[in-house]
A and B are shown apart, each in its own frame.
Chain A
Amino acid sequence: MSVGLRRGTGLPEPVDVGDVIAAIRDAEVSLGGARVLQRVSLEIRAGEVLALVGPNGAGKSTLLSVLTADVMAGAGDVELYGRPVASWSPVAAAMRRAVLLQQVTVSFPFTVAEVVAMGRAPWTNTARERDDGEAIAEAMRLADVERFATRRFHTLSGGERARTALARVLAQRTQLILLDEPTAALDVRHQELVLGLARERAAAGDAVVLVLHDLNSAAGFADRVAVLSGGRLVADGPPSSVFTADLLSDVYQHGIEVLTHPRTATPIVLPVRV
């Protein structure tokens, strides 16, 4: 009897930088009669940070759920490492992608160190199990949670919880990392820290998908931006070409100006204020 941590699936082969690690083709999703995703196609490549942006209810989180097989696309294909995402066993999938959800809860008073250590679960009884200690220590350092490692998760502030959850995801050490609003609860320093981490992971060959609300963060840290609106993918490309005043004003139904940063030349996105 196994309750999920089945063996014999083999360790994942690394995907080369620039190659597709996950792909969605013509995905359709309906939830409760509403069409949440309509013919969305998106390729995620190793070595890049991809930001998913769009208004509330545009389908960003649903898109992540489709990638994690939490939600099955009614039509279209979803692939992870070249195979249909649903064909992977839970543990095989967990060796290939890590997920940070928007809502992070822990139902018993586990400590921060214990929660981070849970990220190593997929590697139990594999050759990579010996990296556990190092992976946990590194993840805790990167997410800046060492100071409160021994505190119980439920006693932490929102931002500390979010970073603990992020550390758990980093400790999992998968090549595909899906983060749903990782910066929502964080102060400026930690926002920059987390987004910088995403960049570093991408530079090291990982694929990082971020759901972001802050368009300037997306402009500053993402290689590619996918703009969702009403369940459709309306733009997909580098921030400098995607972030135009017309497109963003149309998508967000609010006047938006786009300037260019004088030093870095990245787009600066500002809502029009009278």
Chain B
Amino acid sequence: MTTVRDIVPGPETTARGSRGSPEPARASEPRKGRGRSAALFAVLGAALVIATVVAAGRGQLTIVPAEVVGSIAHRVDTGLEWLLARAGLAVDIPLDIGRLPAHPQGENTLWLVRFPRVVLAIIVGAALAVAGALMQGVFGNPLAEPAIVGVSPGAAVGASLVFVTGASFLGEWTVPAAAFGTALFATLLVYALSRSGGRTEVVTLILTGVAVTAVAFAIVSFATFIASPDAREQIVFWQLGSLNGARWTAVSAAFPLIAAGLITAIGVTGPLDLLALGDRSARHLGVNVERLRIVVIVTVALLVGAGVAFAGVIGFVGLVVPHLIRMIVGPGHRVLVPASALGGAVLLVTADLVARTAIAYADLPIGMLTALVGGPFFFWLLRRTRTRAGGWA
């Protein structure tokens, strides 16, 4: 893979270049922007750590944060010592100092129930937010979300068909594979139908996406209709989005898919910036626009397919997170994409915490929560974008 690094010269270059010329405004601004990005990453990182520790501790069995941290430290300690022992070194790493959960079921609750769920929320949240940022970049439209171009509905088709038929040809990977397959098919279909003369009109593409979404949901409805009562319940809850019952097997199946998607996403951030100038100008600056679109579309299908397969349909993460990040540090994708990954993780861990603790002994659908917040946000964004230039043209 050719890395496409630093397509847009970073703040360093600008600052260095302006050395000889008297430009006070520019010399200080990039530094300010870089400081802002660093602060954002620090805040998001801290928020993710806190959200993880708190979320892992809350539930029917409460485990205080000190015990959560202590339990993690003990596992890390054991793991490191085991690794060193394999390397022939018997070293005692002094990490097993923290307090372990006092409750007899504490360790099991943490490691068999809570952590897989929290980790799944982290990676799915990152996947959905980055998928949104990529979509918006490639269509130059802050309102573009995977759902709008038919990726999420497409993924839902594959996953629901697997639920109905009970197929398991790929084990844990069956649902994500089917979801990715149909998501990609739906997206390529939209892409092919909305292309003319080697180019893709944004409006046509989104409207075609709407049509594909309608058909996709018709198929999901049909699958729900013919499903056995058990599978039907599974489809319904999964359509509402939920991380209920997450296991390490799901995490280990989702992780490589999402990691591959995120790495690719970070590789295309430079060309995505140039795409903001429009297809023609981006091409005049050396971007292979059509190929970039295909890479991005496949990546989005991969991220959304994995997310939908393991956590159901969770909307608006890809809309809200990138938008907030853009408001803080600007639209440059080199910061936007990784920051969206962190932000999406924080959002989904928090939303899942609320979903399972807001009402005692009830596990609310997480998709319901994100839509409750995201719907009004979408509306606000719609109004705001319409009144401002640089909108959805």
Contact = CB atoms under 8 A, between A and B. Distances in A.
A137 B9 contact: no
Contacts of A70: 280, 283
A106 B18 contact: no
Interface string B21-38: 101011001100000000
Contacts of B331: 108-110
Contacts of B295: 1, 3
Interface in B62-82: none
Interface in B1-25: 1-2, 4-9, 13-21, 23, 25
Interface stretch (A33-41, A86-94, A197-205): A86-94
B292 interface: yes
Contacts of B285: 94, 118-119, 121-122, 172
A236 interface: no
A106 to B, nearest CB: 5
A118 B283 CA distance: 12
Contacts of B389: 154-155
Query: DSSP class of A's interface residues: helix, strand, loop or mixed?
Result: mixed
Interface in B312-333: 326, 330-332
B57 to A, nearest CB: 39
Interface string B245-280: 000000000000000000010011011011111101
Given A107-B393, A133-B15, A3 B30 contact: no
Which of B264, B281, B285 counts the most A-chain CB atoms under 10 A from its CB? B285
A38 B80 CA distance: 75
A257 interface: no
Given A121-B286, A122-B286, A4 B292 contact: yes
A94 B281 CA distance: 10
Interface in A124-167: 124-125, 129, 132-137, 140-141, 146-147, 149-150, 152-155
Interface residues of A, number: 59
A127 B288 CA distance: 22
Contact of A136 (B14, B137, B281, B388): B14
Contacts of B137: 108
A150 B26 contact: yes
A260 interface: no
Contact of A4 (B18, B19, B286): B286
B140 A101 contact: no
B11 to A, nearest CB: 9
Which of B21, B140, B142 counts the most A-chain CB atoms under 10 A from its CB? B21
B289 interface: yes
Contact of A94 (B6, B26, B284): B284
Interface string A153-189: 1110000000000001000100000000000000000
Contact of B8 (A109, A121, A153, A154): A121
B166 interface: no
B141 interface: yes
Interface string A200-238: 000000000000000000000000000000000000000
A92 B283 CA distance: 11
Interface in A80-117: 89-95, 97-99, 101, 103-111, 113-115, 117
B8 A117 contact: yes
Which of A101, A103, A113, A168 counts the most B-chain CB atoms under 10 A from its CB? A113
B281 A101 contact: yes
B59 to A, nearest CB: 40
Nearest to B283: A90
A68 interface: yes
Given A94-B284, A121-B285, A133 B271 contact: no
By Cβ-Cβ distance, the 7 closest A-B pairs, closest first, are A133-B17, A4-B288, A154-B390, A107-B140, A91-B286, A108-B331, A94-B286
Interface of A: 1-7, 68, 70, 89-95, 97-99, 101, 103-111, 113-115, 117-122, 124-125, 129, 132-137, 140-141, 146-147, 149-150, 152-155, 168, 172
19 contacts: A2-B288, A3-B292, A70-B283, A89-B288, A90-B286, A90-B287, A95-B286, A97-B284, A101-B281, A108-B326, A111-B330, A114-B330, A121-B285, A124-B5, A134-B17, A135-B17, A136-B17, A137-B18, A137-B21
